[in-house]
A and B are shown apart, each in its own frame.
Chain A
Amino acid sequence: AQSVAQPEDQVNVAEGNPLTVKCTYSVSGNPYLFWYVQYPNRGLQFLLKYITGDNLVKGSYGFEAEFNKSQTSFHLKKPSALVSDSALYFCAVRALNSGNTPLVFGKGTRLSVIA
């Protein structure tokens, strides 16, 4: 079974400060990990993904995420937050080569960047 935990419902950060949105996962086999962002009344927009290779993955809008196998984590980070980054962020996982299975999503973390 696959699962994703996003322990924080809400993260508040001041504009210009670094931000971290946490994610841990559980999957049988090697994970295929994603971060998506959702703005109000919109679908999910892809930010970045990890399959293999470098543990630090760079994505859209200056976001990056670090894969940590021993801690089964895939935290989303950005060095300097913008007010426009305020949105709902979802971490998702599926096992590599797992057939036709869909992504499993965390419950989401609402990020508020304060000017």
Chain B
Amino acid sequence: GAVVSQHPSRVICKSGTSVKIECRSLDFQATTMFWYRQFPKQSLMLMATSNEGSKATYEQGVEKDKFLINHASLTLSTLTVTSAHPEDSSFYICSARRGQGSNQPQHFGDGTRLSIL
């Protein structure tokens, strides 16, 4: 159990394009979802935390107008990189957790490799 599906796994697109990444919890209800960004040979950097039905909480230095997060249901959160530029190229990973404020573990998707030309 506790499977998180992230789609697409890889995106290559031109500069200026907006890209949407989906994160779904397949067999549990994810009250809380997290979006991370990982640079080569580095750890995960938390971008934002989202709770179903409310606005995402962004970490310091993350542009909320650049990285739009929607958590419209208990099984789906989306990250849209708006007007993407080459510096946005990275590996993006979502994570989901049952229950808000609980001690449940975080489960991770397989990540999306975003390459902006």
Binding site for B on A (CB under 8 A): 32, 34, 36, 41-46, 49, 51, 90, 96-97, 99-100, 102-103, 105-108
A contact residues around B93 at 8 Å (CB): 43-44
Besides A41-B111, A107-B43, 11 other CB < 8 A contacts?
A32-B103, A43-B108, A45-B108, A46-B105, A90-B44, A100-B49, A100-B101, A102-B106, A105-B43, A105-B44, A106-B43
For A45, the closest partner residue in chain B by CB is: B108
Q: Which of A32, A43, A51, A97 has the most CB of B within 10 A?
A: A43
B32 lies within 8 A of A100 (CB):
yes
A97 lies within 8 A of B103 (CB):
yes
With A99-B101, A100-B100, A105-B44 given, is the CB distance from A43 to B106 under 8 Å?
A: no
Listed by A's residue number, 15 A-B pairs whose Cβ atoms lie within 8 Å are: A41-B91, A42-B110, A42-B111, A43-B109, A44-B93, A44-B95, A44-B108, A100-B101, A102-B34, A102-B46, A102-B49, A103-B95, A105-B44, A108-B42, A108-B43
For A107, the closest partner residue in chain B by CB is: B43
B contact residues around A105 at 8 Å (CB): 43-44
Size of interface on B: residues with Cβ below 8 Å to A: 25
Give the contacting residue for A96; candidates B43, B100, B103; CB below 8 A: B103
